[in-house]
Structure 1
């Protein structure tokens, strides 16, 4: 059995979302950790800014199913899987929401040497789409 070690990495996150016709985006770079191998890995990092004190874990299974968990003041768990809708909890300053998450694209090209994870998904509340989201996460060795 091969033991997979956790290693320190640089994580660049480009987050763009559309809400009611308006597009907003954020680009941030943090130091975090990578554990796993191609198609099955976990990326973790600490949030800063408004979400300082929160820890984010992005677990990818079989290169196609992403479980994104935020722990801390605003706990959230989103399951992002291409072609499938999942009901997920999303914590905000106003309280907890149950949102539908539907991914139209999940592309994973990351291994222990780095790479890129890209995914597009919508968040819906009831019958209406709340936002369209596009994320690109690039991992490089620290």
Structure 2
């Protein structure tokens, strides 16, 4: 059964030159569990997110892996498995980028009542290290 949820996303980037950036998004979405796999779905839209337009994000959490799918104004599928390099294509209205992620931390404590997803990874564009990233997704069940 799908449940309504408040979804808080925090991202950090540390660049090789020493600069650091942070983003935070608070939105509403849904989450559910089916056959031991958890799913979180939320939309990103408005001034606080991308200037490209609306994006729907689907996160799948299963044994040892977090799979991130973004659809809409951008298109991206990334799989996070600790220590395993994953290549993907990030498509926007401006063109395509070849992205790779090398996760160092892939953790989740999601239950049917909510929880947290925590990722730490290196991001590469065209095989060049761009940043060291952290991503935290907190899912809190909305109680009617």
User: Could you say which TM-score interval applies, normalised by the shorter chain?
Assistant: 0.7 to 0.9
Q: Which has the higher strand share?
A: 1
Matched, 1:76 2:76: yes
CA RMSD, Structure 1 to Structure 2 (Å): 1.8
Aligned twin of 2:38: 41
- Summarize deviations over 1:4-59 as a string: whole Å, max 9, x none: x1111111111111223211111111110001169621100001232542110011
> Is 1:13 matched with 2:14?
no
CA distance 1:39–1:18, shift in 2 (3 Å): farther
Report the CA distance shift for 1:18/1:114 in structure 2 as closer, same or farther (over 3 A): same
Q: What TM-score, normalized by structure 1, do the two folds share?
A: 0.88
**CA distance 1:137–1:88, shift in 2 (3 Å):** same
Contact map agreement 1:15 1:133 (CA 8 A) in 2: yes
TM-score, normalised with respect to structure 2: 0.87
Q: Which runs of 5+ in 2 are unaligned?
A: none
Query: Which stretch of the first structure deviates more once superposed, 84-93 or 22-31?
Result: 84-93
Contact 2:115 2:139 in 1 (8 A): yes
Q: Superposition pairs for residues 53-132 of structure 1, below 5 Å?
A: 53-62=54-63, 64-132=64-132
Q: CA deviation at 1:124?
A: 1.1
Structure 1: unaligned runs, 5 residues or longer: none
What's the secondary structure of 2:109's corresponding residue? strand
Between the two proteins, the alignment pairs up a number of residues equal to 137
Deviation at 1:114, TM superposition (A): 1.1
